[in-house]
Every structure is written in structure tokens, then in C-alpha cells.
Structure 1
Amino acid sequence: MSQTQFAAACHCGAVQFEVSLSEGLGSARRCTCSFCRMRGAVAVTAPLDGIRFLQGEKHLALYQFGTKTAKHYFCPTCGIYTHHQRRSNPNEYGVNVACLDGVSPFDFLEVLVHNGVQHPADDPTAPQDAGVLWFAPNSRLAGDQG
């Protein structure tokens, strides 16, 4: 999984963008903060200049909470989270892998889980990683079940 350039979009297609990933798909991770736990997305890393919107940038809605450092963007029509500017590194975006053409969160058999409950900005001595999430595909199932 070394590809770094992707076309991307929300579910309804109102927001479309191209993204250049800093570390390809190798940066995939989840987070344990209260918002990310509920959102449940797998995110990959892009630099701030790594996203180029083709349409819908002005359509995006913004959600912030707590320190209001992180900026979480989503499509207000379909509700899909597309990306966020990270609190842990405001010079980076986390991009929802489910928005990337040809990529699914279920392509990752192992995903690092970032410790967002004990955020490094609040407690520099806390471990940065909370664990690993595994996915074991059922070989009897195939295709889109939605």
C-alpha cells in the first residue's frame, strides 16, 4: 500500500477532492478521543497543502469541541466526515480512508489506535498509542452489503 495520490469524495459526491498522503496508506490510525470513538473512522495523514478541492469546499461543515484546536470537516448533505486538521499536529490533516477512491477501512487488517483520551498536549508523559485494532475478514462474504 505505497500509493500516495488519491481522488476522494463524500458519499453523495457534493465534496470532491484530490489528496496527497505524506506516508501513503501506512499512516492509517484510529483515535480514542470522545469524538473519534463515536465517529469510528480510520484516518491517514496528509500535509496541509496535500488536499486540493475539486468541488464543494465551501459546502463543508465544521465541528470543533474541547480546546477547539482540531477542525473536523464533514458534508452536511450526507454527513460523511471527510478530513480534520489534527490537534496533535495542526500542520497535518487526517483524511477519512473511506472517502478515498478504491480504499476501504476494511482493507487494513491492523490499525494503530492513537491515545486521544490522554492527549499528548495535555499529558506529555502519557503513551501515544492506545493499542491496535484488528480486522479478520470472513472469506464467505464478498461485495457491497449496503
Structure 2
Amino acid sequence: MTQSTQDSRPVYQAACHCGSVRFSLRLADGLRSARRCNCSYCRMRGAVAVTVRLEDLEVLQGQESLALYQFHTGEAKHHFCAQCGIYTFHQRRSSPDQYGVNVACIEGMSPFDFAEVPVSDGVHHPKDRADGAAPPAGWLRYEANPAARNN
């Protein structure tokens, strides 16, 4: 590979809670892609996800521990660890060439690192709308308690 074609994006390491599933990834658009969704499944799951192209995610360990959940149209493929139950990543219905990766699985990251995260409207999914529009349903905001930092 020549220097001009090398990918300069950082490689992140990620894992489920118990460590059975380990994977590496490169973010498609850095942390700017962080978002939540308000569909019935994502509301209950509660994860902040970042965007990764399919070819930029590699399962390093535990492929056999990954379980799959699909619902409604069956287009989105939600992967989670069958041992600890943690959602790791999912292939998106809106963009099947992308994964949404659980930020909490990425080493050194937390969903609380984001002061504000847009919430995608999964109730009125862009693929179900005649105009294909994808306006945000809202924003999730986090403000740390300054008093808690001093404990």
C-alpha cells in the first residue's frame, strides 16, 4: 500500500461487557456521527451509536458469541453478546452499508462523553416516509453534576 492510499483514521478497540466479543473499527465520520434512535427497540436499548462502514469493522474474537436480533422489517441486524447481553453493533436499516456501534463498547469512550446527541426518528423511519426525509426526533442532553466530580 502506498503512503497516499493509507487510511489515517485511528483504529479503535471495542468489546462487550464480559470480553467474549472483541472487535476493532474505524469511524466513518469521527464522533460527529454519534446519535440515538427512538424506535421501539432503541428506546429500550438506550445506546449512543457511532457510524462505521461495514468494511471498517472486524470481529477479532467471539464471533460465535454474537447473537442476532431482528424485528419489524427484519432489515436491521442487531448484534449482541450471548454471554453478557450487551448490544455491540447493528447493521442499519437506513444505511445497510453501515454499522451503528455502541459507543460504550469502545475502549475509553462513554455515552456521557457527549453533551448533546441527536435522536433519529425511528418511529417515522426515513425508509417508511414518501419523501425519505430524516428530521431528528429531538436531542438527548447530558450535563455532569459538578459536585459529583469532587467526590
Tell me by how many angstroms 1:124 deviates.
3.6
Q: Which residue of 2 aligns with 1:128?
A: 135
Structure 2 gap ranges (5+): 1-8
Whether contact under 8 Å (1:6, 1:100) holds in the other structure is yes
Is 1:22 the counterpart of 2:59? The answer is no
Tell me by how many angstroms 1:55 deviates.
0.3
How far apart, CA to CA, are the structure 2 residues paired with 1:132 and 1:83? 21
Amino acid at match of 1:20: R
Q: Which residue of 1 aligns with 2:97?
A: 91
Structure 1 gap ranges (5+): none
- The CA deviation string for residues 73-123 of structure 1, in whole angstroms up to 9 with x for no partner, is 000111000000000000000000000000000000000110000001111
Larger radius of gyration: 2
Superposition RMSD in Å: 1.5
How far apart, CA to CA, are the structure 1 residues paired with 2:130 and 2:62? 37
Q: Which residue of 1 aligns with 2:46?
A: 40
Q: Which residue of 1 aligns with 2:70?
A: 64
How far apart, CA to CA, are the structure 2 residues paired with 1:33 and 1:58? 28
TM-score normalised to the size of structure 2? 0.89
Secondary structure at the counterpart of residue 44 of structure 2? helix
Query: Which portions of structure 1, spanning 4 or more consecutive aligned residues, are displaced by more than 2 angstroms?
Result: 124-128
Is 1:31 the counterpart of 2:41? The answer is no
- Assess, with a 3 A threshold, how the Cα gap between structure 1 residues 55 and 127 changes in structure 2: closer, same or farther: closer
**How many equivalent pairs are there?**
141
Amino acid at match of 1:71: K
Is 1:137 the counterpart of 2:150? The answer is no
Tell me by how many angstroms 1:53 deviates.
1.3
Whether contact under 8 Å (1:31, 1:113) holds in the other structure is yes
The equivalent position to 2:118 in structure 1, one of 107, 112, 115, is 112
TM-score normalised to the size of structure 1? 0.92
Secondary structure at the counterpart of residue 38 of structure 1? helix
